[in-house]
């Protein structure tokens, strides 16, 4: 398995528009963060988790030539806004993009991209096939088995995913013990860590560190990071052994 972090930023990205803080004006590329997304390549499938507003830029930057499916964690705009750009894959592959999402997320996709699902077809619009997933049942893409993990994003139910020895959890500040159990034994854990100050729907860095300790993965990479967390190199160097800040373009092999 090859894992590429396409984006590691919060909903507004880093730099934050109009901000002159040391993080937003940093010349370290690791302090520049597109909206959160990850590309996973295995012998069975090439998938992306979430297609946010930076989807086109991320696909070009990572040179993603083959994409079998997009899997959605939830329906917030910073996770779904780039769906229109699957048109390129429709053109090259001559088939619809497979989309995996809960019923709730599908409702948002139908609302935000009504023209895709309209009874009146327009030449050149994205072609997608919706596949329903739930928090209670694993699913598979081309034989690649994916376990869903139920998370709470404030009061909104969202999904994390375990694929083999890799677990991806973002946009949450609560995971029930029985759901977190699904992550145990992972070699790599990815976990949201927004900032230092408490937030209504995201773990702080300190909270994320404690959750990661409980999971006990060999390596943990924090994502969905805001400019309020601090400079990448400073924060990363202070983390416990085996824990790291993810950054855009980071590639991991399993």
pLDDT digits (tens, 9 = 90+) for 40-54: 999 999 999 999 999
pLDDT of residue 123: 85
Q: With bands split at pLDDT 50, 70 and 90, how would you rate the model's confidence at 187?
A: very high
- 50/78 Cα distance (integer angstroms): 9
pLDDT of residue 86: 98
Per-domain residue ranges for the chain?
Answer: 2-246
pLDDT of residue 120: 84
| CATH entry, 2-246, from 3.20.20.150, 3.40.30.10, 3.40.50.10490, 3.60.15.10 | 3.60.15.10
pTM: 0.97
Which residue is associated with the tokens 């409702």?
A: 107
Q: With bands split at pLDDT 50, 70 and 90, how would you rate the model's confidence at 250?
A: very high
> Please, which residues have CB within 8 angstroms of residue 171's CB and are 6 or more apart in sequence?
36, 73, 74, 76, 79, 151, 153, 158, 192, 201, 202, 224
**Token pair of 68, please?**
């079998």
State the chain's mean pLDDT as an integer: 97
Chain-centroid distance of CA 213 in Å reads: 21
pLDDT of residue 119: 86
Q: Report residue 159: phi and psi, to 5°.
A: -120, 140
Tell me if residue 104 falls in helix, strand or coil. Answer: helix
- DSSP codes, 203-234: --HHHHHHHHHHHT-SEEEEESB-GGG--HHH
**Token pair of 95, please?**
């088939």
> Please, which residues have CB within 8 angstroms of residue 244's CB and are 6 or more apart in sequence?
219, 220, 221, 222, 236
Tell me if residue 111 falls in helix, strand or coil. Answer: helix
pLDDT at 170 over 90: yes
Instruction: Say if residues 117 and 21 touch (Cβ distance below 8 Å).
Output: no
pLDDT digits (tens, 9 = 90+) for 96-125: 999 999 999 999 999 999 999 998 888 889
Instruction: Say if residues 39 and 3 touch (Cβ distance below 8 Å).
Output: yes
- 227/13 Cα distance (integer angstroms): 8
pLDDT of residue 168: 98
pLDDT digits (tens, 9 = 90+) for 70-105: 999 999 999 999 999 999 999 999 999 999 999 999
Dihedral-angle region of residue 49 (phi above 0 means left; psi in -120 to 50 means alpha; beta otherwise): beta
pLDDT digits (tens, 9 = 90+) for 188-220: 999 999 999 999 999 999 999 999 999 999 999
Which DSSP helix (H) or strand (E) runs through 190?
A: strand 188-192
pLDDT digits (tens, 9 = 90+) for 118-166: 988 888 899 999 999 999 999 999 999 999 999 999 999 999 999 999 9
Q: With bands split at pLDDT 50, 70 and 90, how would you rate the model's confidence at 227?
A: very high
């Amino acid at each position: 398995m090859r894992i590429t972090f396409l984006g590691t930023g919060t909903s507004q990205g880093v730099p934050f528009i109009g901000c002159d803080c040391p993080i937003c004006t940093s010349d370290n590329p690791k302090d520049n963060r597109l909206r959160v997304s990850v590309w996973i390549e295995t012998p069975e499938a090439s998938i992306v988790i979430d297609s946010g507003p930076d989807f086109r830029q991320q696909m070009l930057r990572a040179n993603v030539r083959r994409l079998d499916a997009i899997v959605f964690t939830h329906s917030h705009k910073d996770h779904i806004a780039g769906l229109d750009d699957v048109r390129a894959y429709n053109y090259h592959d001559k088939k619809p993009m497979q989309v995996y999402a809960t019923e709730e997320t599908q409702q948002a996709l139908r609302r935000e991209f009504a023209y895709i699902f309209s009874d009146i077809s327009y030449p050149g619009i994205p072609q997608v096939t919706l596949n329903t997933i739930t928090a209670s049942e694993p699913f598979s893409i081309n034989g690649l088995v994916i376990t869903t993990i139920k998370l709470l994003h404030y009061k909104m139910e969202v999904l994390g995913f375990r694929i083999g020895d890799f677990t991806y959890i973002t946009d949450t500040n609560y995971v029930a013990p029985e759901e977190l159990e699904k992550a145990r034994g992972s070699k790599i854990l990815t976990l949201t860590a927004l900032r230092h100050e408490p937030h209504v729907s995201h773990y702080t860095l300190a909270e994320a560190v404690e959750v990661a300790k409980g999971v006990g993965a060999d390596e943990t990479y924090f994502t969905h990071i805001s400019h309020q967390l601090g400079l990448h190199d400073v924060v990363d160097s202070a983390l416990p052994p085996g824990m790291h800040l993810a950054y855009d373009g980071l590639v991991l092999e399993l």
